Amino acid sequence: MPNNLQPANPTTVMPSYLCQAFEEDLKLEIQLNNYPDGTAERNALAQNVRHYFKLQSGLTPNQYQSLWNFYSAHQADAFYFYFLRETVPPWTADPSGNATQGRYTVVFDGAWTDTYNKGRTSVALALREVA
């Protein structure tokens, strides 16, 4: 059905102290068909790369609780995420979401999994850009 998909309309921004724990991962998704004779057929599913952001560093107990609260409140909703390296000036985020430099509209990609360690907790969590 045409016109049945609504664009993402985020209203919230991930706090900047949580944004700094994520690293960028670029992906160009393709459709791959391998045939029994050894040939392969590849078709790009998009013209541009899609941004993914993966949580890389361990979290302190306060960061863990803040991220869990944010995740619980936004599991199915799009929100703004600032990739702090791309903001102007660098490493600053706009808590209102009005600044567009370094801002991405994202959703959580996958389920929450964590591992408790002494002092810091590791969380396997990723964000996926939506257009």
Task: Report yes or no: 23 and 83 within 8 Å, Cβ to Cβ.
Answer: no
Q: Where are the alpha helices (DSSP H) in the chain?
A: 16-19, 61-73
Express as a percent the part of the chain with pLDDT over 90: 56
Give the pLDDT of residue 1: 52
Looking at residues 68-83, what average pLDDT do you find? Answer: 94
* Residues of the domain holding 58: 16-129
Q: How many CB atoms lie within 10 A of CB 67?
A: 22
Q: Does residue 55 fall inside a structural domain? A: yes
Q: Does residue 112 fall inside a structural domain? A: yes
CA–CA separation, 112 vs 71, rounded Å?
8
Q: Does residue 23 fall inside a structural domain? A: yes
Q: Does residue 9 fall inside a structural domain? A: no
Q: Does residue 6 fall inside a structural domain? A: no
Q: What predicted TM-score, i.e. pTM, was given to this entire model?
A: 0.82
Looking at residues 67-80, what average pLDDT do you find? Answer: 93
Give the pLDDT of residue 2: 61
88 three-state secondary structure: coil
Q: Does residue 8 fall inside a structural domain? A: no
The mean pLDDT value of the chain amounts to 89
Number of domains making up the chain:
1
Give the pLDDT of residue 45: 83
Q: Where are the alpha helices (DSSP H) in 9-117?
A: 16-19, 61-73
